[in-house]
Amino acid sequence: MVPTVEWKNGAVRLLDQSRLPGAVEFLDCRDYRMVANAIRHLKVRGAPAIGVTAAMGVALGAQAVTATSYDEFARAVAGICDELAATRPTAVNLFWAIERMKRKLAELRTKPVSEIKRVLTEESQRILDEDIAMNKAMGKHGAALVQNGQTILTHCNAGALATAGYGTALGVIRAAWEEGKKISVLADETRPVLQGARLTVWELMQDKIPVTLITDSMAGALMKQGRIHLCIVGADRIAANGDVANKIGTYSVAVLARAHNIPFYVAAPHSTIDLATPSGDKIPIEHRNPNEVTTLHSGPAIAPAGVEVLNPAFDVTPAALITAIITERGVFKPSELSSQFSA
């Protein structure tokens, strides 16, 4: 797999996911505003990938600040952090990563600005490296829940593309596959932006993991026919009570899974767990451009001009519908998260 995000010759290089699967193109961001735009316009997307990219955006922006006193430098970096934080509201990894960069900046207040710039860049790389390590650990824990011969339904893209590498939900699937289990994946296309059709399918086909594409409306019938054994999805934010915000349509999958007695798992690292948000109804839900609904991947209109459109990008699955949450520290019931992950 090509890297989703990396430092390359002093720039933040992103695989432009808005062009997939038609073209594999890279975007070299040479200033932090380009990074912010790439996040806003889904050139990079997926909660952990957004966090890693924002951390790199902070470091990139910091490098260009000309101030030599700490206070002036820190004020400029705080402004950069604010702009990056305003790109998307739901995935908590964005705020988690920016806060981590701010903490690092504060720790370095007695150091020369040139050194702070270097350490901030190193910190962003550490966030990237840790993300991959967490995904691999999550994969190991989660793979134990997957049996030989099973078919797994996933929604949206929670793969290498949505993270610094390996993936969360797809990381579990990858790990089970690497253990030699003969599994197959059903990928929901995931309207409106088609992350399932465009990204999950592309990514799994690269790794030769058997995958079949379905439209979102097919999942219930396939569950009824006994053709889905478990569901694994990622998360954009997990509240303290275990409620999970993820791509719109996830809630429908969870309801269907419960109705058919099929386990429903969420895979996410600790950077997605937001203990400051008590429950799912407090999670801010992003509403995106109606064009995403009235076209298919920016193609010709599929609805009459001027139609009223709703386009919430995420929904909340209540903890009660979640069998377990797979993390880098192990597999927990939603109700166990707050004690397992409190500081």
Residue 187 pairs with which residues in a beta bridge? 154, 213
Q: Is 234 in the site for ligand MRU (CB under 6 A)?
A: yes
Site size for ligand MRU (CB under 6 A): 17
Distance in Å, CB of 167 to ligand MRU, minimum: 6
User: Is the backbone of residue 165 left (phi > 0), alpha (psi -120 to 50) or beta?
Assistant: left
- Given the complex with ligand MRU, which of 61 and 89 has the nearer CB atom? 89
Who's near 207: CB < 8 A, 6+ residues apart? 1, 174, 177
Q: Is 163 in the site for ligand MRU (CB under 6 A)?
A: yes
- Given the complex with ligand MRU, which of 113 and 170 has the nearer CB atom? 170
236 annotated active-site: yes
* Of 5-13, 70-78, 126-134, 234-242: span binding ligand MRU (CB under 6 A): 234-242
The answer to whether 272 and 236 are in contact (CB under 8 A) is yes
Task: Please provide residue 45's backbone torsions phi and psi, each rounded to the nearest 5 degrees.
Answer: -155, 175
State the Cα torsion 180-228-45-210 to the nearest 10°: 40
Angle made by CA atoms 151, 152, 153, in degrees to the nearest 5: 125
* Of 8-16, 158-166, 215-223, 290-298: span binding ligand MRU (CB under 6 A): 158-166
Q: Is 240 in the site for ligand MRU (CB under 6 A)?
A: no
The helix (H) or strand (E) run that includes residue 71 is: helix 70-85
Q: Is 246 in the site for ligand MRU (CB under 6 A)?
A: yes
Residue 110 token pair: 């007695």
Q: Look up residue 316 and give its amino acid.
A: V
The answer to whether 256 and 219 are in contact (CB under 8 A) is yes
Q: Is 48 in the site for ligand MRU (CB under 6 A)?
A: yes
SS3 assignment, position 324? strand
Distance in Å, CB of 93 to ligand MRU, minimum: 8
- Given the complex with ligand MRU, which of 73 and 171 has the nearer CB atom? 171
For ligand MRU, the binding residue among 29, 54, 91, 240 (CB under 6 A) is 91
Residue 327 pairs with which residues in a beta bridge? 330
Q: Is 280 in the site for ligand MRU (CB under 6 A)?
A: no
Q: Is 174 in the site for ligand MRU (CB under 6 A)?
A: no
- Given the complex with ligand MRU, which of 120 and 331 has the nearer CB atom? 331
- Given the complex with ligand MRU, which of 124 and 163 has the nearer CB atom? 163
Residue 15: alpha-carbon gap to chain centroid: 15
Residue 124 token pair: 């962003």
Distance in Å, CB of 337 to ligand MRU, minimum: 16
Q: Is 46 in the site for ligand MRU (CB under 6 A)?
A: yes
Q: Is 45 in the site for ligand MRU (CB under 6 A)?
A: yes
Q: How far apart are CA 313 and CA 54, in angstroms?
A: 20
Q: Which of 16, 31, 207, 236 is catalytic?
A: 236
For ligand MRU, the binding residue among 27, 47, 137, 254 (CB under 6 A) is 47
Start-to-end Cα distance in the chain: 34
Site residues (vs ligand MRU, CB under 6 A) = 45-48, 91, 156, 158, 162-163, 168, 195, 234-236, 246-247, 313
Residues assigned a catalytic role: 236
